[in-house]
Structure 1
Amino acid sequence: MPGPNNSFGEFQQRFLPPLFGLQFCLALAGNGAALWLMVTRERRRNWHTGLVFSCNLAASDLLYALTLPLLVLYYAGGKQWHFGEAACKAERFLFTCNLYSSILFVTCISVNRYVGIVHPFFTRSHVRPKHATAVSLLVWAAVAAASSPVLRFAGEVKNATVECTSTHSHTDDRPHFAYSVCLAVFGCLLPFLATAASYAAIFRVVWRNANITQAEKRKVGLMVGAVLALYAISFVPYHVLRNYHLYLKLHNKNILAVYKAYQVSKGLVTLNICLHPLLYMALFGSIRTVCCGGAEERGAQSPGGQRLCPT
């Protein structure tokens, strides 16, 4: 009978390599095509703030997708890391950067849509692509700073094999757990609340607008549901299970069911780089086309008499 550690490793080696391989292909094709379309086709039309945020999100996804082949080789080869300490730290750092830049740029896109639809006059007067560029630079700086402790915690662990782990020393288990909880709160929970509040306000304005058809309202409902589903499937389970796993590890407890669920969540959180191209599609042709389904051309107005969609 295999021991618990063998069971843990065997599950990783069976589940993660094919999933990461598939995600690499989908993410590379989807984000590469989306980025090319945004930089070429959309730039010639209407380069607005939503596209600025989406370009940054696509770039982040592509950067992380390029590290997935290393993980495929790592897990398929029996969790034997052949690429050195620096590459191990870099992979863990890029994963953390991608995860939280993804969450924050999705939040930026959501808040940008909220401002554009709920406060269109303010948007036309004060919101410009240069502002989105400045916010994007702040996001990258914040994410890089928040991810930098990973470079200390992560590293190679040499046992029977050389593994690449998030913590390479048991003395780091407690500070790493505290760091992980902070990331979950400030990097996932608070952005999720901002995203949910933004889309709730968007849905309320659109639903109350008599000039928008039921079909167009369903489009907005699907957009809201897609973003919230991304959190429910990808981001939230990973943070909950990761911190529960680290808590058990801190108290020297090994529960195979929790570990397996955590490994599944690692695959699901990486899935977000494959799903983001669906969000970019909602921005092609400008925010107003997607959120209003062309209602602007018919003079759609918000409940307060304002035009629903920004120009």
Structure 2
Amino acid sequence: MTMTLESKGQNSAVLDIALSDGNHIPQVGLGILRVSDEETTPVVLNALEAGYRHIDGAAGYGNEAGMGRALAEAGLTRGDARGCMWVTTKLRDSEQGHDAALRAFDRQIGLLQLDYVDMYMIHWPTPFDWRSGETWTAFRELKEQGRVRTLGVCNFLPEHLERLHRETGEWPAVDQIELHPTWQQRDTVAFCREHGIAVEAYSPMARGADLQAGHGLISRIAGEHGVSEAQVILRWHIENGTIIIPKSVHADRQRENLDLFGFALTQSEHAAIDGLDGPVRAGHDPQTFSYA
């Protein structure tokens, strides 16, 4: 199966976000956390058929080979078709450091069956074992070699971004963070915007918990627009200019998560979702966690 732009039904509706390095990333992508390597291949193929042009993976997920098989089967690993896709992967925290990162990337790009990845990211800042500065030096070399187009980080708080900048003189193009209506990380988002760093949200619906947020608020808004609760939350992200990578292994849900551009929230609806911000994250604390 070879994918073409014409065969990807909805992809023309998805906007691209301009990054500080001059590249453009599709605003909606597919996340594949907690998908087995074997299952990843059909999941990604379904997403490509639905119109996704952006797949977000990581070494720590253990399914880069499955992603690579899907991209190869779809004919998206080489040639003109490759340029239609945005592929992200992330370095294992246990492989941070200059030489270790270079070795890891060689393994990862082989599993993905690609000549380059669109974005390579430091997965967690690990401030208790900080090696992001030397890791970034390796990332810069990979970019200079044309093997990586965009450099990013995940889960970095403002203090981590500032430390990285002090050590390298650079800001990442993207910071991927846990972000959803009940955990909006406004200080981090404001810092990123101030420094030209695009914000990318993982767990954009708090792993489903936010679908029932606000004592039925999301459901009421969904009913007003004739869409699902998930689409309401994802549309809120879209209107905020956030890059999103919702995960689903179901083809129908993948299509639904991509179908966000036929309606808009009213100003009062958007403000009501803004008001759901709370003090509890759904995931891990960047100050203490490592995805080894």
**Fold-level match, TM-score > 0.5?**
no
Greater RCO (Cα-Cα under 8 Å, separation 6 or more): 1
> 1 or 2, which has the higher strand percentage?
2
